Structure 1
Amino acid sequence: MNLLLTILNTTTSQPPVEANTPLWIGYISVIIAVLFFGSNLVPAGKYPIGDGLSFQFFMCCGIWMTGLVIDLFVKSPQFFPLVLIGGILWTTGNILSLLVIRINGLGMSMLLWCTTNMLIGWASGHFGWFGLIPENVEKPILNYMGVTIACVSGIVFLAIRTVKQEIDITANIEEQQPILHSSPPIVTTTSNDAPIEIVTTIDSPPINIYLRIVGCILATIAGIFFGLVFIPSTYIQDHPYDQYQTASKNGLHYVFAMYSGIFFSSMFYYIVYIAYKGNRPYIHVQSIFPAIISGIMWGIAQAGFLVANSVLSQAISFPLVTIGPGTIAILWSIFYFKEISGRRNYLIISGGTLLRLISAVLIILSKPIPR
């Protein structure tokens, strides 16, 4: 916590258009993002979530409260409505992810949306898509190699299997399962926004191949939405002179606007959901507080991600932040949830983690070029 306050104090003390923030702040922000993204659903891991819509709404309440605290801490800088779009995109992708998980399972779904998320976020910054200024690195070949290895590492982790979970088969089974055991064949990949990667294997009826294709398409769309979340805030930071004269280089100045977009879009979707359910939504009271805590942790992680993007550039931060949480989640799965064991799994984890370490080293060595 002291480290987080140090970063907040360092960033908030800078002038609005400061451009040369020390790189160590960016890398510390990456570490904070990785730790909290990899752990944010642990508080809710053993509680039932129903169909997930109520859980997501209360989680978004926690996210918005975190954004409010950060906004007060940075003395309420200018609110840019454009950044709301980033929050709306995240919420829409998260709603899609709940549907996709029930079609294709968590493992394949997250492999698709997290890989797409990383590639969209990395490429939009590196190549200057959507009106952004291209973010160059000193050694592009190392950056490309790191991103490629990061994609491969996600595929390696798909081979992990856990001890089969015993689940009561009832008419309302999918409304009673905990959040970390709510889908058939689950395997681990990476995530930035989102669900913790816990692994399990549960027998399920076969799903029509066409429905699986639809699920893959929706997972890819969700990944695109996740990858576009930072485009509005980065666009504003890239155009401080011609369009946004008061734009700040401090990523924390865009937190509240983004989190407001998340909260209000989540509220809209939740109202639609309640109407669809005839005012009888699935709400498990015991999961409300854990959902809020999860949202607070996610909010801290996303704030770190925003700072990392501002300091290091998306070409560096996106691959690092999207590959890290999976390793943290696996550690939770081994030592807390006791779901991963066995020599085979440990060898796979060791190999996948080694690939991710190599990827991270290559990306760091590619070195961002300050703008």
Structure 2
Amino acid sequence: MNVWKASNTFNSSNGTDLAVGFTSSVVAVLLFGTNFVPVKKFDTGDGMFFQWILCASIWMVSLVVNLIQNCPRFWPLAMLGGFVWATGNVTVVPIVKTIGLALGLLIWASFNLLTGWASSRFGWFGIDPEEVSRPILNYIGAGLSLLSAIIFFFVKTEVQSSSVSLERTPLLRESSINVSENNSDDSWVNRLSPTRKRVIGCSLAVVSGILYGSSFVPVLYIKDHGRRNGTIYTGASQFDLDYVFAHFSGIFLTSTIYFLTYCAVRKNKPHVYPQAILPGFVSGVLWAIANCCWFMANHYLSAVVSFPIITAGLKNYLLLTVAFCIILAGSLSTAFSKV
């Protein structure tokens, strides 16, 4: 009887963990997909000022989370993850200007997924490798992601220069939140040839994706070594949300350093857009909540499961499946039309 009760308790606990984990993943996907909506209609210039506002908002949310969690121990190493993420985020502006937001997003999302999955699955960077019950399916999913990333490199894009009238580039104006619409933009990107734009844009997207995918590694490292004896992290919390404040502090500190550097390079004449402050703050709040949900998904599902779900997105998987079926049906129809 006791064994049966223990088994029931375990199954109930495991089911609850899965429910919380998948719910957190869904919330993260929805918020990551909508967090830039508040700034969609506002000019954010070259993105540097907007990013600083965004990261300030992110840090304030982490402060609230830290108080709710009763101020758990602050591990400076967790700030490294914030530094890595903020560094990857700085590349977004040149990526959008060289290859466009759509293609850039596809490439960095693919490498984000692959890096996050591989580091957790194989134990890169000193973290413990994670086992899955169906490794074949896990490998197939990663393989398909890699294949899609390779295919994206062959997608042709045509990014209009800032000298083109806004009426001829409505999609870019609506989709890109970081590209300046100022016709006097003398960005170094505009002086590149189309081939160099493509090479630089794709390369930066790959780097950005790898950095995004590595941002959780410091937290996973602390947790893994917290379960071992004789390390400086022995006894560290195993609840991922306890590291949000340190992680987000790294984001804000890095963003501040980059913004001050930008101001110095601009000789104290940065492009500042006051109308982007409030929308940027709201956008940061939404992103911070989404990332907190990702931390929870990492805890309840493990990173090797949460990364593919959140990075690709539930909706994207559905759309990809429908598109694949349509393409397959069209190909078979064409092939059998001559039989």
Q: AA paired with 1:169? A: S
Query: Could you tell me how far apart the structure 2 residues matched to 1:118 and 1:23 are?
Result: 20
Q: Kindly report which structure 2 residues correspond to 1:25-64, keeping only aligned pairs within 5 A, or say none.
A: 25-64=20-59
Q: 1:111–1:40: structure 2 CA closer, same or farther, 3 Å change rule?
A: same
Matched, 1:265 2:265: no
Change (3 A) 1:326 1:260: farther
Alpha-carbon contact 1:62-1:295 (below 8 Å) kept: yes
Letter paired with 1:278: K
Residues 31-51 of structure 1: CA deviation (Å, up to 9, x unaligned): 111111111101111111100
Report the residue type matching 2:22 in the other structure: Y
- Structure 1 or 2: more helix by fraction: 2
Measure how far apart 1:98 and its partner are.
Answer: 1.6
Q: State the secondary structure of the residue aligned to 2:98.
A: helix
Tell me the residue number matched to 2:237: 248
Q: Cα deviation per residue 1:167-212 (whole Å; 9 max; x = unaligned)? A: 9738xx9xx956636669xxxxxxxxxxxxxxxxxxx998341342
User: 1:49·1:177 contact (CA, 8 Å) conserved in 2?
Assistant: no
Q: 1:104 to 1:136 in 2, by over 3 A?
A: same
C-alpha change, 1:182 and 1:247, in structure 2 (3 Å) is closer
Q: Does structure 2 conserve the Cα–Cα contact (< 8 Å) formed by 1:160 and 1:349? A: no
Correspondence list, 1:59-70, <5 A: 59-70=54-65
Q: Name the CA distance, whole Å, in 1 between partners of 2:61 and 2:280.
A: 13
Query: 2 CA distance for matches of 1:312 and 1:83?
Result: 20
Equivalence for 2:334:
none
RMSD: 3.4
After TM superposition, the structure 1 = structure 2 runs for residues 1-371 of structure 1, keeping only pairs within 5 Å, are 22-150=17-145, 169=165, 180=176, 207-240=193-226, 241-242=228-229, 243=231, 244-324=233-313, 327=316, 350-351=322-323
Q: Distance in 1 between matches of 2:251 and 2:52?
A: 10
**Partners in 2 of 1:68 and 1:236 — Cα distance?**
20
What code does the residue aligned with 1:86 have? Answer: G
Looking at structure 2, the residues matched to 72 and 262 of structure 1 have their Cα atoms a distance apart, in angstroms, of 18
Which residue number in structure 2 is paired with residue 4 of structure 1?
none
In the TM superposition, what whole-angstrom CA distance separates every residue of 1:54-108 from its partner, at most 9, and x where no partner exists? 0100000110011001111111100000000000000000001222221222222
Structure 2 counterpart of 1:279, one-letter code: N
Seen in structure 2, the aligned counterparts of structure 1 residues 283 and 178 have a Cα distance that, compared at 3 Å, is farther
Q: Percent identity?
A: 38
Q: Give the Cα separation in 2 of the matches to 1:257 and 1:19.
A: 29
Gaps of 5+ in 2: 1-12, 181-189, 328-339
What amino acid sits opposite 1:351 in the alignment? Answer: A
The alpha-carbon deviation at position 318 of structure 1 amounts to 0.4
Judge which range, 84-93 or 300-309, deviates more. Answer: 300-309
SS at match of 2:77: helix
Cα offsets for 1:234-287 (capped at 9, x unmatched):
011111133212311111100000000000110000001111112221122111
| Distance (Å, rounded) in 1 between the aligned partners of 2:123 and 2:326 | 31
Which amino acid is 2:105 matched to? M
C-alpha distance in 2 between matches for 1:129 and 1:290 = 38
SS of 2:176's equivalent?
helix
TM-score, normalised with respect to structure 1: 0.70
Q: 1:29 to 1:113 in 2, by over 3 A?
A: same
Q: Is the 8 Å Cα contact of residues 101 and 176 (structure 2) preserved in structure 1? A: no
TM-score, with structure 2 as normaliser: 0.77
The one-letter amino acid of 1:61's match is: A
The C-alpha deviation readout for 1:112-136, integer Å capped at 9, x for no partner, is: 2111111010000011111111111
CA contact (8 A) 1:118 1:319 kept: yes
3-state DSSP of counterpart to 1:22: helix
CA distance in 2, matches of 1:288, 1:325: 31
Structure with the greater alpha carbon radius of gyration: 2
